[in-house]
Amino acid sequence: MVLVDSHCHLDFPHFDDDRDQVVSRMHSAGVRGIVAVAVELEQNARLQRLCAQYENVWFSTGVHPNHEVQHEPTVAQLVRQATHPRCVAVGETGLDYFRHRVPAEVQQVRLRTHLAAAAATGKPVIIHMREADDDVLRVLREEGVPAGGVMHCFSSTRETAAAALDLGMHISFSGNVTFKRNEALREVAAYVPLDRLLVETDAPYLAPVPHRGKRNEPTMVRHVAQCVAEARGMAVEALAEATTRNACALFQLDLEV
């Protein structure tokens, strides 16, 4: 069984003490590739080094919606970073009204900047959405997503998923889909068309059951895949094959599977 972890943060300091072992476990478990996702522009050099050090690692460029910065990112900055051959997406961007570290109006301008960069580079966009469904969908409709993208760590309703799918987006599920209370989210995972489905860890966060509360890592995407497969009533091997194919197509990963 071959899997791609479509969203993690392998460069974060949580992995500084054992990153080599994390990658070794990942490959041993059949997780053949990962997308290491940016939350600030300053990560770019670190992400490039990560991709040079490890096989089958790609990265994105972007500024998280709730990341406080002295200077807002520009389209030119994002485009410049996105030209690296291992950069496969713009983001993570989006809107997060849960913590309000960054004012909503600033987040919306930032999201539009990222969408413009994605359009300019022809790369997909990675969307973070928390308690901001209506505004995210509105901005996506207004700006467009010509290269598509992914609603990462999806935690909303079937109606929101349907609207995102209509816009050409993929839907990605993380460890929270395994949590006991999230039966409604598993129903959404069963609803999403198989060819628009991705799986991820968001490591080091959101470790899935049975590792909830521990540090997450790419190996654990297997638990997400197993849970989503069970929700859909299909074999996990078939789910893994489909989501790996989807990730390779969306992000243009040169991964032999």
User: Domains plus CATH for the chain?
Assistant: 3-251 (3.20.20.140)
Q: List, run by run, the mean pLDDT of 10-residue segments along the chain (257 residues).
A: 98 98 97 98 98 98 97 98 98 95 97 99 99 99 98 99 99 99 98 99 98 98 99 99 98 89
**Spatial separation of the C-alpha atoms in residues 25 and 63, rounded to whole Å:** 29
35 secondary structure, DSSP code: E
Question: CA torsion sign, 129 to 133 to 135 to 137?
Answer: positive
* Residue 87 DSSP SS3: strand
Q: For residue 81, give the nearest of 112, 114, 105, 103 by alpha carbon.
A: 114
Q: What is the pLDDT of residue 99?
A: 85
Q: What is the pLDDT of residue 256?
A: 75
**Spatial separation of the C-alpha atoms in residues 203 and 12, rounded to whole Å:** 9
Q: For residues 98 and 34, is the Cβ–Cβ distance under 8 A? A: no
Residue 149 — φ and ψ, nearest 5°? 170, -165
Q: Which residues pair with 58 in a beta bridge?
A: 35
Q: Which residues pair with 4 in a beta bridge?
A: 33
Residues 6+ apart with CB under 8 A from 131: 96, 97, 98
Q: What is the pLDDT of residue 38?
A: 99
